[in-house]
Structure 1
Amino acid sequence: MRAIGRLVLGVAIVAGLTVAGSRAAEEPPASPSEAKAPANVQPPASTVPVTPKDAAPPPSVTIIGASEAHGVLGRDVRSAAGEDMGRIVDVIVDRTGHVRAAAIDFGGFLGVGSRKIVVDWNALRFGKIANKKDSITLELTKAQVAAAPEYKEDTPIVVLGASGSLQPLQAIQ
């Protein structure tokens, strides 16, 4: 019985300290001498703000109008002369995340005999052509693209660029 009595007394003391501490936090001190708290007194746990470890600030939001931007994967690419140059099947970025090139599935018929070639992003023009909504035009001829080496993953990438527009990629270590 004595152990239970001590436990109840201990809980009552802790509860009294918690109530007194929370009241002291709510009420301003009456005089400057009361403002100093002993160094060994901790604030009650109920007054310490708790934030989850996974809490993150809300993301920023940008609204882009439907006519202002569009996806490019799977889009048809045409030459300046209106020739079918294929479809964009991949976008190549460097290690810093900057878009460098586009992989185009070129040639073939219904996917048979086609191959992927890579063209410099700056050789692509995005705009409107009469009677079509948005178009992607490549500043290369069909013969230039046909002569380009095939793109294969995990091999050095040969990027075909419009005359004078391709900048060399600096090695990032």
Structure 2
Amino acid sequence: MRTAGWLALGVVIVCGTTLAVSRAAEESPAPSTEANAPPTAQPPASSVPVTPKNAAPPPSVTIIGASDAHGVLGRDVLSAANEDMGRIVDVIVDRSGHVRAAVIDFGGFLGVGSRKIVVDWNAMRFGKIVNKKDSITLELTKAQVAAAPEYKEDTPMVVLGASGSLQPLQAVQ
């Protein structure tokens, strides 16, 4: 019986607090915003929709089939002789946004002793799906890639390319 009395007192306190809060909310003026305004069937006649002067146009939408394009990060790269050349870990773009090269994690075993090598984007061939994977073939031999200097971020990079395919990067003014 004693527990029921405390429970009843708790209900009275909660109800009284809720009533006081709701009365205070009714009495205090709320800032007038559209979020607080009561819903109406029609906007007032004086209201004209306003759009910002520099509103962005709607974005374009393109649908690309799953078999037509794939991401390349993490993809395995093979030589023309079907040798494992590593996997793509980064893509290098110039200041205008054009893809220039790929960074390949080359050599080593299970990530130990591997080096990052930069290869010209045009030295790679993106083929059909083989064994449920996109095939990426590099037009360089394993020996050529092994002889390339290692890529280190924020330092000048040596881009290894297939014979005659790399165009020098033009200075952006």
- TM-score, structure 1 as length reference: 0.69
Could you tell me how far 1:55 is from its partner in structure 2? 3.8
Equivalent in the alignment of 2:94? 94
Equivalent in the alignment of 2:70? 70
List structure 1 runs of 4+ shifted beyond 3 angstroms: 52-55, 129-133
Q: Distance in 2 between matches of 1:131 and 1:116?
A: 26
Equivalent in the alignment of 1:81? 81
Equivalent in the alignment of 1:164? 164
Equivalent in the alignment of 2:136? 136
Q: Does residue 155 of structure 1 match 2:155?
A: yes
Q: Distance in 2 between matches of 1:48 and 1:131?
A: 59
Q: Distance in 2 between matches of 1:49 and 1:131?
A: 56
Structure 2 unaligned blocks of 5 or more: 1-44
* Superposition pairs of residues 1-173 of structure 1, within 5 angstroms: 46=46, 49-52=49-52, 55-128=55-128, 131=131, 133-173=133-173
Aligned positions, number: 129
Query: What residue identity is the alignment partner of 1:69?
Result: A
Secondary structure, aligned partner of 1:128: strand
Structure 1 unaligned blocks of 5 or more: 1-44
Question: Aligned Cα RMSD in Å?
Answer: 1.9
Could you tell me how far 1:85 is from its partner in structure 2? 0.2
Secondary structure, aligned partner of 1:46: coil
Query: What residue identity is the alignment partner of 1:66?
Result: A
The structure that has the greater radius of gyration is 1
